[in-house]
Amino acid sequence: MSELTFAAVDLGGSKIAAAIGTADGRLVAQSAIATDSHEGPHGVLGRLALLVRDLAALSGTTPSALGLGVPGLVDVANGTTKFLPNMTGEWRDVPVRAILEPQVHCPVSVLNDARLATLGELTYGHGRNARTLVCLTLGTGIGGGIAVDGALRLGPLGAAGEIGHQTIVPDGPMCTCGNRGCLEALASGPAIASRGMYLLQCGRAPLLRDIVGGDIGAVTTKEMAAAAARGETIVRDELVRAFEYLGIGIANVVTMLHPDVVVLSGGLTEIGSLLLDTVRKTVLRRVRMFPATDVRIERSQLGDTAALLGGLALSAQTAVGR
Ligand SMILES: [Zn+2]
């Protein structure tokens, strides 16, 4: 008998990544297309299903189940989307599972993308040898996920683990969720870049200005990291300040859960040691009730395939469970 295969899809605001793979985390076929979410749910889901069928044909297999990650909140039990802030079109209460199952000819499970990536880390990444795991995806937003004692913690709404939306500064900047001073509003890519733009605008970051050729709109954390590496202290201080906020957010979670490992992924982690070292130091400084030296804080080994691998793990569970 040939090996069972599973399908995984990571639906994002700009692209749909899909893969066919095996339960041991081997991706046998992989592809991506633009989301074009202005087409609305039915258009997007139709193309998503076509992508899965094409990959299945390419791999010469019939996937036993599909695990799908979406950028927002979902009704996990019913496979219905609830709140997808980064997708244009009306995505509230879309019965994604019911729409997709007849088109992909297998059971479909739907999870928030950061929780799906957490399942990927737990099954195939740094979590393989861990019981309790915390994941943060650092990019345009700050996504999060938690696994406790080997099981993904979803909560009744699949919303548990939104680490980016804990309050860090009570009267801090407004967040996309409506709260003030969330970790995301202080330490996401755009939040940090806005501080770089401010420094550039008031003439205090000449090196950063050179790097972006005077174009304020071109400032991202990448250019800020380059300016910091070339000795622009004021820019470096802004980065460190944001990474200390991140460290405080992680220290709060470490105090509550005492996880084995905290996994960081997303574009911001490309900054490397300045981020990791600052976070590690801040966690040690802020967790005082027990020595947090045994809590590993690591960069993901799975990179942007974590959610796809989580999709394989989820669909492998679904296929066994039905
Ligand atoms: Zn928030």
Find the Cα–Cα–Cα–Cα dihedral 261, 73, 5, 47, rounded to 10°.
Answer: -140
Residue 313 has pLDDT above 60, yes or no: yes
**How many A from CA of 246 to the centre of ligand 1?**
14
Q: Give 114-153 pLDDT, tens digit per residue.
A: 999 999 999 999 999 999 999 999 998 999 999 999 999 9
Q: What is the mean pLDDT of residues 245-260?
A: 98
Cα–Cα distance for residue pair 84/88, rounded to 1 Å:
8
Share of the chain above pLDDT 90, in %: 89
Residue 1 has pLDDT above 90, yes or no: no
Sequence length of the chain is 322
Q: What is the mean pLDDT of residues 218-227?
A: 98
**How many A from CA of 243 to the centre of ligand 1?**
17
Cα–Cα distance for residue pair 239/216, rounded to 1 Å:
17
Structural contact between residues 315 and 64, judged by C-beta atoms closer than 8 angstroms: yes
**How many A from CA of 183 to the centre of ligand 1?**
7
Cα–Cα distance for residue pair 79/8, rounded to 1 Å:
15
Cα–Cα distance for residue pair 154/251, rounded to 1 Å:
21
**How many A from CA of 171 to the centre of ligand 1?**
13
**How many A from CA of 36 to the centre of ligand 1?**
26
**How many A from CA of 270 to the centre of ligand 1?**
23
Q: Give 224-244 pLDDT, tens digit per residue.
A: 999 999 999 999 999 999 999
Residue 2 has pLDDT above 80, yes or no: no
pLDDT value, residue 13 = 87
**How many A from CA of 143 to the centre of ligand 1?**
10
**How many A from CA of 63 to the centre of ligand 1?**
37
> In this structure, how many other beta carbons lie within 10 angstroms of the beta carbon of residue 180?
14
